[in-house]
Structure 1
Amino acid sequence: MFRDYTPSASPSRAASQNPEPMPDAPQPAPAPHKKSAGRDLGAAIGVGVGLGVVIVASLFIVKAVFVGVIAVAVVVGLWELTKRLEERKGIKAPLVPLAVGGAAMVVAGYVRGAEGAWVAMALTALAALVWRMTEPPEGYLKDVTAGLFAAFYVPFLATFVSMMLTAADGPQRVLTFLLLTVVSDTGAYAVGWRFGKHKLAPRISPGKTREGLVGAVTFAMVAGALCMQFLIDGGSWWQGLLLGLAVAASATLGDLGESMIKRDLGIKDMGTLLPGHGGIMDRLDSLLPTAPVVWLLFVVFVGAG
């Protein structure tokens, strides 16, 4: 409890047993705080390279195979989204008609263009409404509303990728779309990680910064100028600058949009299928809203092909 005081102890001895720290003595510096990416970087790079090989190989060998890759990604993305909605909110969006209709949407966009995509979207929505009628009416409205949202958000937006592919230089257009989106995300991450100080949207995605957005715009505009000049038939570098700016904006908004969804659901990732990345939907968040923007700008700049 308390120490006994011994009168016989001299002051000098007490001082030697409990020395006072020297005022000018150097203090140890605190250990530097290292920034962390928050994911397994090695796994993320390995998975990213593997996906890139599959995508590029299917894109330039047989177009129809790449359409199949899009359809598979759409079905898996729908499964992840509907699964999380059911787990976290009790919303049972009808997966079967969404998956079948979503794959049909992607194929219809490739075979019949925008008209085919709209017809497939309408039929998918109708199928979702009817499918849900086989269950009790409680929750019908929220279930079918979530189903219609999922049909538009995942397969319908992905259909614009298959429509890009129909042009004579379709593989180059799709490759440009993918490169610019990846470069935008990479620029945002690299610049934000190194220089980011001012939050872009702290209530939605605390990790995003204004400096990162500048990096996304800069990287995407440079890549866009190069791609339009050297990959796209009839393209010009100045068109690539505008394309890169649009991609950076839409990719950032898409990322923030899915962050909003995940915050509402109270989750970090939509899935665990891709080590170091999360789920398929965690990789499609920037790509999906960017696809119609890029498709439209290609049509305006160089035509439908």
Structure 2
Amino acid sequence: MNDSSRGSSPGAGYWRAPEQPHVSAGPVYDGGEAAQTRPMPPVPDAAGGPQFRDESPVPPERHSSATPPPGAADGGSGPGASAPPGGRRAARTKKRAGRNLPAAIGVGVGLGAAVIASLFVVKAVFVGVVVLAVIVGLWELTSRLSERKGIRVPLVPLAVGGTAMVIAGYLRDAEGAWVAMALTALAVLVWRMTQPPENYLRDVTAGLFAAFYVPFLATFVVMMLAADDGPWRVFVFLLLTVVSDTGAYAVGWRFGRHKLAPRISPGKTREGLVGAVTFAMAAGALSMQFLIDRGVWWQGLLLGLAVAASATLGDLGESMIKRDLGIKDMGTLLPGHGGIMDRLDSLLPTAPVVWLLLVIFVGAV
């Protein structure tokens, strides 16, 4: 789900070599492409390091040249003086993933345990978890739109309507979700009328996008839950999405060479995509054979392929949004991950895909 999952080498268009030699062994970032979610104090070039979690620092060896800069040979203190051996070793051992892996792993394991516990204890508790994630995700998205673009999206009708969408999807299936979506859209239109008319069309359009992107897509998760074997369907959905992301990260980090979409997410590689497809198809075959009633292994292969495709598109879609807004993450709620939306980016578009394929393969109940 983070952009770091598809490889680690920097992409063309986002990194450039410095025009003058300096102490830093790290890359120089072209700040015109994106910015942090919050203003940050200037950082000297010697700090190095990536500005986005989907971009990784160039190894020090790549900055070497045939002619050493002045001061490098004699250990002087000029602009080209070489860093001490300890500094070079530290630079080489920097995490290429561009994020705090211990924090990311700890938070991920904790969240996973809480979600799985709520999923298999009481279905209604898991529905509450989905509602909470939807509300926080809407808050993050609308806050970033307001901060970066000045778009005034009414959060109250979105939060109320999003809650109604999730509950209606669980109780009344797709029909209930569509009715709640229509009422939410109407509420956004009316609520925005209480403010000046300038940019009305822009604001309500963004509100409708937010209503569809977060709560409506999330209703497919609780629609899977409503089936007799619903907890196992949701578990397979979560498992395949996580396995796809893990496979992409592992293979891309080790073998990634060819960029998948450098102008959108420089960290993603074609090799990482192959890893996502391979891991997800293997996990899908095992899951459909052993975890889903009436499921067979070949259906799992197709399911895994579809999950890898939708999860990758979800990652790229949110990366495009963040590039447009000029931010690093959607939020800071989860250490090592960013915000809730940075975790939902691949889950949300994958939910309707898994729901539909499971209905086709094994039925709705």
TM-score (norm 1): 0.90
CA distance in 1 between partners of 2:348 and 2:196 (Å) = 33
Q: Does 1:302 align with 2:362?
A: yes
Paired with 2:92 and 2:333, the residues of 1 have a C-alpha distance of: 31
The higher relative CO (CA closer than 8 Å, separation ≥ 6) is in: 2
Query: 2:156 matched to which residue of 1?
Result: 96
Give 1:44's match in structure 2, choosing from 74, 88, 104: 104
Measure, in 2, the Cα distance between the counterparts of 1:125 and 1:138: 19
Instruction: Please give the alpha-carbon distance, in whole angstroms, between the structure 2 residues aligned to 1:244 and 1:143.
Output: 37
**TM-fit CA distance, 1:256:** 0.1
Mapped to 1, the partners of 2:153 and 2:242 lie a distance apart of 30
Q: Which residue of 2 aligns with 1:280?
A: 340
Residue type at the aligned position of 2:308: A
Q: Which amino acid aligns with 1:170?
A: G
Distance 2:122 2:164 in 1: 19
Q: Which segments of 5 or more consecutive residues in structure 2 lack a partner in the other structure? A: 1-73, 75-84
1:255 and 2:315 aligned: yes
Q: TM-score, normalised by structure 2?
A: 0.75
Give the equivalent residue in structure 1 for 2:303. 243
Provide Cα deviations, 1:270-294, integer angstroms capped at 9, x if missing partner.
Answer: 0000000000000000000000000
Matches within 5 A, 1:37-116: 37-116=97-176
Alignment deviations for residues 162-213 of structure 1 (CA, whole Å, 9 cap, x no partner): 0000111000000000000000000000000000000000000000000000
Q: Secondary structure at the match of 1:175?
A: helix
For the residue of structure 2 that corresponds to 1:227, the secondary structure is helix
For residues 90-134 of structure 1, the C-alpha deviation after alignment (integer angstroms, 9 at most, x for no partner) is 001110000010011000000000000000000000000000000
Equivalent residue for 1:196? 256
Equivalent residue in structure 1 for 2:225, among 165, 169, 176: 165
- Distance in 2 between residues matched to 1:259 and 1:215, nearest whole Å: 20
CA distance in 2, matches of 1:211, 1:33: 23
Question: Which letter does structure 1 place at the counterpart of 2:197?
Answer: P
Q: Match of 2:270?
A: 210
Corresponding residue SS for 2:152: coil
Q: Which residue of 2 aligns with 1:234?
A: 294
Root mean square deviation of aligned Cα: 1.4
Give the CA deviation at 1:53. 1.0
1:37 Cα deviation after fit = 1.2
Q: Which residue of 2 aligns with 1:183?
A: 243
* Partner of residue 182, structure 2: 122
| Number of aligned residue pairs | 279
| Local SS of the residue matching 1:208 | strand
Greater helix share, structure number: 1
